[in-house]
Amino acid sequence: MAVGLQVTAPEALLAVAGVQIGVTAAGVRKAQRKDLTLITLSDKATVGAVFTQNRFCAAPVQWCKQHLASGKRIRALVINTGVANAGTGQEGLNNAYAVCTATAQLLNLEPQQVMPFSTGVIMEPLPVQRIVDGLPHALQAQQTTDWSQAAQAIMTTDTLPKAISRQVQVNGRTVTITGMAKGAGMIRPNMATMLGFVATDAAIDASLMKALAHELAEASFNRITVDGDTSTNDSFVVIASGEAGNPPITEWQDPSHASLKHALTEVARWLAQAIVRDGEGATKFITVQVEGGRDAAECRQVAYAIAHSPLVKTAFFASDPNLGRILAAVGYAGVADLDQNQIDLYLDDVHVATRGGRHPNYREADGQRVMQQTEITVRVVLGRGQATDQVWTCDLSHDYVTINADYRS
């Protein structure tokens, strides 16, 4: 059950001018399941994206990178769930390109103007013909499909769809932002087994889009972990359709431009946290904040050591204040000259450890009280500098094992 995750009502998910979405049931893996999404973009649209750092990246990821680099204006995105088209060799590359070709023919585009995305089971062949046959139906469905339906269509082991909207003023124009994401397991930074799509009708110059996608990912999807695994298919795409009527943004110094970037960051961060809240088998949402580091990278290194620890995560699941496990994770995080005598540990408002040892006023009942909450903040103070950083994670439950043991059934 998702932790504190409220599904956004369909009527609260705002349409983005210049972005049309169609969903259909192509039978990619399961009959009658809506599993194919076609997104078409205005001819003014600019696109930026970041992808998995897993070197064994899936065929669609490889084509997405090439098509973005081609300089052709991206006009369509095709997303299938059920089969990841990863670990499929040359056949997988051919299949992903065949989807691009079929989409291009349907829309009178070039294949390089299409970005393909897949998520699901690895090392299974992509049922290309089913997807090709489904594309006209997805195009026709653009007349009635909304973001809520699309957010459901891209799910795998997710229990809830994840989508949200915001509006801001840019140069006197109302600008809309809507985003959706999927992901619940195989979640680790850089990025995760996740697909994320954030669209705005603002006009943003193409030269800014790659850096914008990277900056948004760094503030959101690159700060989450569920289980420490990095997927083969991670993709995060930012779309600016250019239909809001604002002068194209070429820099972020203008206060209204900065407010747009802030809103985009808010949407990306909400989606990233929603993935953790819906982590496979999750019962608790945990913020790990590390302060007093020499730089942010060091703080994040320590935070991830805590967030990845199965011992820490199972203790949270059991509501067991076995908090020495957190200190142990800090110690093996890889900070070579760390002085344990400078470390303080807090669990929400409870001061657990000071200067490397148990705080004299700490009582296990206080730790137990916090551990029983569904949302918890772990705060570690390194005492080495002024830097701070944080990541978001969840606990590790029996259900996580069950879900992944039964993944292909």
* Other residues' Cβ atoms within 10 Å of the Cβ of residue 307: 28
- State both tokens at 147: 């973001």
Catalytic residue among 8, 24, 103, 193: 193
H or E stretch covering 36: strand 36-41
Radius of gyration of the chain (CA): 22
| Contact between residue 181 and residue 194 where contact means Cβ atoms under 8 Å apart | yes
Active site residue 193: yes
Q: Which of left, alpha, beta for 186 (phi over 0: left; psi -120 to 50: alpha)?
A: left
The Cβ-side half-sphere exposure at 181, using a 13 Å CA radius, reads: 33
Residues 6+ apart with CB under 8 A from 6: none
Distance CA 94, CA 353 (A): 56
H or E stretch covering 256: helix 255-277
Residues 6+ apart with CB under 8 A from 11: none
- SS3 letters across 20-51: EEEEECCCCCCCCCCCEEEEEECCCCEEEEEE
Residues with active-site annotation: 193
